[in-house]
Amino acid sequence: MSRVLIIGGHGKIALRLAPLLVERGDVVTSVIRNPEHQDEVAATGALPLVADVEQLDTDGLTSLLDGQDAVVWSAGAGGGNPERTYAVDRDAAVRSMDAAKAAGVPRYVMVSYLGAGPDHGVPEDNSFFAYAEAKAAADEHLRASTLDYTILQPGPLTMDEPTGLIEVVNPGDGRVSRADVAAVAAAVLADDSTVGQTIPFGNGGTPIAEAVAGG
């Protein structure tokens, strides 16, 4: 049994991840900004915790993370507003990593995207630029940390039914169902061989646990 805290607990991936973790015996806390989402989150078996990670400083986030074994970052500003994108996807994410270290939470799983990195190639006049920059900075901060991290890089997300099958070697455009992204997050939390790995993936033909083993 592990105590797992999901940041961005009302997101479409998080709502699918929580029941997977609860079913296998983990104790899940899902952080949400909107108190109106508490019932929907509670229905997953997770404990809803209302907190605005955009507003919390590192000390506040450290208190939030105290006593957890792992944190999954599945939050996002949702695009459209560059200032808020940097505030959430970069700054709050970075603070959460520093807080995890301060709170003694060893394990950190970041949901990023396929192609993320300093060489993302997104033009500055593209509406996606702020998100690409923010994720690149957050992912690099995580890699430089002492946390036992895994960075997930799914491609375009769909609402398709889960297949349980992915491709990590040649994922193409990486198109993948959100339910399968959730299953990948659950799988890497249970597999220490994924620590220190960045895993690009999309739906494919290999069972998830097999595909992620050893990165």
Instruction: Please give the pLDDT value at position 214.
Output: 57
Query: Among residues 131, 152, 25, which one has the least CA distance to residue 86?
Result: 131
> Mean pLDDT for each 10-residue chunk of the chain (215 residues)?
96 98 98 97 98 97 98 87 95 98 98 95 93 97 98 97 97 96 98 97 97 79
Residue 94, amino acid: V
Q: What pLDDT, on the 0 to 100 scale, is given for residue 28?
A: 98
Q: How far apart are the first and last CA of the chain?
A: 23
What pLDDT, on a 0 to 100 scale, did the predictor assign at position 1?
Answer: 80
What's the predicted TM-score (pTM) here? Answer: 0.96
pLDDT digits (tens, 9 = 90+) for 118-174: 999 999 999 999 999 999 999 999 999 999 999 999 999 999 999 999 999 999 999
**Residues 191/199, Cβ–Cβ less than 8 Å:** no
Which pair of tokens denotes residue 167?
Answer: 């491709």
Query: Are residues 137 and 89 in contact, defined by beta-carbon separation less than 8 angstroms?
Result: no
In this structure, the number of other CB atoms found within 10 A of the CB of residue 61 comes to 24
Q: CA-CA distance, 210 to 148, in Å (whole number)?
A: 20
Question: What is the structure's pLDDT at 77?
Answer: 80
Dihedral of the alpha carbons of 155, 156, 161, 166, in degrees to the nearest 10: -20
* Helix locations, the chain, DSSP H: 14-23, 38-42, 58-65, 82-85, 93-103, 129-144, 178-189, 208-212
